[in-house]
Amino acid sequence: MRISVVTPSFNMARYLEDTITSVLANLREGDEYFVIDGGSTDGSVDIIRRYEKNLKGWVSEKDAGYADALAKGFARATGDIQCWINAGDLYLSGAFDAARKLLTQDLDLIFGDDFYIDEANGVLSYSRGWVPDLRVAMLYGGWTPLQDACFWRCDLYQKIGGIDRTLQYAADYDVFLRMAAVGRSGYVPLAFSAFRRHAGQKSITGSAAYEDERGRIRAREISGLRSRPVLNALYRGINRVAMSARARLAPLVWRRPDLAGQLVTGLPCAAYWQPDQANVSPS
């Protein structure tokens, strides 16, 4: 199966090359990589041009935000599997080969684990993406899967009508919620990627706006359910408590302090969620 990858970027020259090289190292014959730049003025275009012979396509033009950039990229994609990696984040070695094996005929979307890294690619912490039911966790618990550790079938993306270009902050939550509602999703206990923490990050500076937009999306989806309002409220309350407990316990239950400080570029796509399972690659 061929994989189509999209990277939305805007003024991320400091980290863009690391992202591009991590994707290119994972590509196989027939795979596609699109870099959709929002009209950067920081030298990003020079970096993209350096690698353009290895890209399926790229643009640098003003857009309406990262969701609009992603929509442009996926509109060009022809692969069987899709994924996106934001500028600054990285795929681990072997991520695409693992995704190809694990996105079986029984699944339309897989979600896994990742690492948090610093500005120098050093591991800060490990993040496990497990939940027993993706749709329930998202709809009633407000949870969002680790976007950089998600892979899905192209026809599932097309079935839901694609990403909502109008959203500015919670487009990831929206698209994964809609895909989880109509597709077969499953957790995979592998770390596929690394999410970078850096100054000025939109997910940090725009956290309040993200929560507001996500709340409106959840309200829209819940209002469309046929079940009784009282049952919805009860289910929502139970799952909110469960997801809150998960957030508090996760760093204690699934931590990997032995990996802190290591360069993530030296870590392969593997199972890291228990110390005795570290560096176990998919069979």
Beta strand pairing call for 3-9 and 81-84: parallel
Residues 217 and 178: their CA atoms lie apart, in Å, by 10
Does the reported pTM lie above 0.75? yes
The domains found in the chain, sorted by start residue, are: 3-259 (3.90.550.10)
Is 273 a residue whose pLDDT tops 90? no
- pLDDT tens readout for residues 59-112: 999 999 999 999 999 999 999 999 999 999 999 999 999 999 999 889 999 999
pLDDT mean over 203-229 = 82
Is 172 a residue whose pLDDT tops 90? yes
Q: What pLDDT does 111 receive? A: 98
Residues 114 and 89: their CA atoms lie apart, in Å, by 10
Beta strand pairing call for 185-196 and 90-91: antiparallel
Residues 216 and 4: their CA atoms lie apart, in Å, by 30
Under 8 Å between Cβ of 59 and 37:
yes
pLDDT band at 168, cuts 50/70/90?
very high
Radius of gyration of the chain (CA): 18
Residues 98 and 151: their CA atoms lie apart, in Å, by 10
Residues 134 and 88: their CA atoms lie apart, in Å, by 26
How far, in Å, are 64, 73, 85, 113, 183 from residue 165 at the CA level?
8, 12, 17, 26, 21
- pLDDT tens readout for residues 112-155: 999 999 999 999 999 999 999 999 999 988 899 999 999 999 99
